[in-house]
A and B are shown apart, each in its own frame.
Chain A
Amino acid sequence: MSNDNLQVRPADYVIPADAANWQKRALIVGVVGVVICVVGAVTSLEQFLRGYLIAYMFWTGLSLGCLGLLMVQYLSGGLWGLVIRRPMEAATKCLPLMFVLFLPILFGRNVLYAWMTNATLTARNSWYLNTPGWIGRWLFYFLVWISLAYLLNRRGDAQDDPPNAGPQPRFQGLSGVGLILYALTVSFAAVDWIMSLDPTWGSTIYGLIFIAGQGLSALAFNVVILTVLTRCSPYREIIKPMQFHDIGKLMLAFVMLFAYFSFSQWLIIWAGNLPEEIGWFLNRIRGGWGIVALVIILFHFALPFALLLSRERKRAGRRLIGLALLLMFMRVVDIYWYVVPNFAHEREHFYLSIWYIVAPIGVGGLWLAYFFYNLRQRPLLPAYEPQIPSLLHQGSHGH
């Protein structure tokens, strides 16, 4: 097979000019959202902070999910990851932004977390749940995440240098260690930031549920980005149904993984039926919250699962994008269902504050604006990645 037409350069994969517009629009949404959020912080600090925590967990989770998938792809290989590598790298570069955006939670911690001001709540576990430890761990998580994102992105940059500049950068070792650190830090962060809202309750699979959720929202986000990018050059010519098929299959796997972890948590607590554990679920089933639980079962699992079984649906971005947007929305709903019934007043009756909606949109605008800014800095494909020839020759026969 001739290799004449494989002399590709990074310059061949310039991101579509439209991306500047997307960035501008996202920034407008973000700035308007932040201004409204400031109003919320002044007028109703409690509800605003809860909405902000939901928004923060979702958008940070998107960056972290991309960080995890990026490392998984470096370890496992596979053409599916090449076309979304730059978008995932751009998402990991949003982590410094999320570090700064933690400040409202840091300063509002006494309003948000009852145990910070009420020592009786942490009589048994204050060795872990104490304010200095909580702040120290926040700094440590971001030190790990930003370092991993920085190292992976720097090596990605090195790969874009002409191939004769030196040996290929090595990703596997970093990704192997990185994934272990990722799983541990995300688990502890989920405990610190969400589970500790109820400091007397514990679940050992909690962190894994958030890891599966992050992977799912990252895959769904990549489907959306890939579909949008495929409308323009150069992806219009490069992306084949195969890429969507692979990412669609992974999305189905993560839908099932999320359902499996969530069900495991439910099964064990339901079977034990212990007073100190079962209350967590009762708070999320009674008083109208059962409707939300049912919506999560139907639209976070049953419907996406049934639709993603279809081969044809997985092979076209325009047929996947609606489902991907639904899954991202359901991730927010799931986090909402985890966060809000922790609070005594809200658990009585189903409760939805305007700030639970405004905050995710506002933070999302900022995140997306920074994401597109990062994405525009570099070509869309890692041109000197050794697997690129097989990607470009996919669809032609032979091996």
Chain B
Amino acid sequence: MSHAALAPAIYGLLAEFETPTELVEASKAAHAAGYRKIDAYSPFPIEEASEAIGYHKTTVPLIVLVGGILGGLSGFGLQYWINVIAYPLNIGGKPYNSWPAFIVPTFEMTILFAGLAGVLGMFALNGLPMPYHPLFNVDRFSAATRDKFFLAVEAADPKFDLAETHKFLESLQPLTISEVPH
């Protein structure tokens, strides 16, 4: 009732933990309890935490692969077009399409495009650049870059209920629980 009306008004709940171990345990518990729109924040990468919140796969490798293939094809295509179609030159009696000579730039273009696709794809998938994020409305959250570990449960989660979720997070014994306003 009042909760249901209130729920969309906030971004979610944020629980603060002292150690990475507690964060991983809490993430596992939240995932086991059926929460899916959860996220873990820590000063350094914790592979177990990503696994605990059910974050198994990203599409970055696929983007890198596609970028690499496009780079390779465009690199080879450019050289083929120049040497065979646009400006054919007889060099040492070799055929116009002297593919061995094209391999090195093709390789470099593959690496360049794959690298750029990786960086840009990572930015796009992360929604970056992101000038505003509700979590920064919580003052304590700045410790996430220093020495504290946070678990956020978003209000957009179907299972989210302000009172119920609050109670659930309390059972994980965090240092603090904060409501995150939009």
A contact set with B: CB distance below 8 Å: 263, 266-267, 270-271, 273, 309, 311, 395-399
Contacts and interface: CB of A to CB of B under 8 A. Distances in A.
Contacts of A271: 92, 100-101
22 contacts: A263-B103, A266-B100, A267-B100, A267-B101, A267-B103, A267-B104, A270-B100, A271-B92, A273-B94, A309-B61, A309-B65, A395-B48, A396-B48, A397-B20, A397-B21, A397-B46, A397-B47, A397-B48, A398-B19, A398-B21, A398-B46, A399-B44
B117 interface: no
Interface in B1-21: 19-21
Contact of B20 (A263, A267, A309, A398): A398
Nearest to A306: B65
Contacts of A266: 100
A311 B61 contact: yes
B92 A273 contact: yes
Interface string B144-163: 00000000000000000000
A259 B20 CA distance: 43
Contacts of A311: 61
Contacts of A309: 61, 65
B135 interface: no
Which applies to chain B's interface (DSSP): helix, strand, loop or mixed? helix
B117 to A, nearest CB: 14
Q: How large is the interface on B (under 10, 10 to 19, 20 to 34, 35 or more residues)?
A: 10 to 19
Contacts of B103: 263, 267
Contacts of A399: 44
A83 B114 CA distance: 32
Contact of A397 (B49, B65, B92): B49
Contacts of A270: 100
B24 interface: yes
B81 to A, nearest CB: 21
A360 B167 CA distance: 68
Contacts of B100: 266-267, 270-271
A398 B46 CA distance: 7
Interface string B36-55: 00000000101111000000
Nearest to B68: A309
B24 A397 contact: yes
A253 to B, nearest CB: 14
A271 B21 CA distance: 59
Interface centre among A263, A271, A397, A398 (most CB of B within 10 A): A397
Nearest to A242: B47
A311 B62 CA distance: 11
A2 B180 CA distance: 35
Given A266-B100, A397-B46, A398-B19, 8 more contacts: A263-B103, A267-B100, A267-B101, A267-B103, A267-B104, A271-B100, A397-B20, A397-B48
B21 to A, nearest CB: 6
B180 to A, nearest CB: 25
Nearest to B44: A399
Contacts of A396: 48
A322 to B, nearest CB: 22
Nearest to A310: B61
A266 B61 CA distance: 31
Interface centre among A267, A273, A311, A398 (most CB of B within 10 A): A398
A395 B21 CA distance: 12
Contacts of B92: 271, 273
Contacts of A263: 103
A383 B50 CA distance: 31
B50 to A, nearest CB: 11
A266 B98 CA distance: 13
Contacts of B101: 267, 271
Nearest to B42: A397
A261 to B, nearest CB: 13
A277 to B, nearest CB: 14
B35 to A, nearest CB: 20
A398 B104 CA distance: 43
A289 B71 CA distance: 32
Contacts of B61: 309, 311
A201 to B, nearest CB: 19
Contacts of A267: 100-101, 103-104
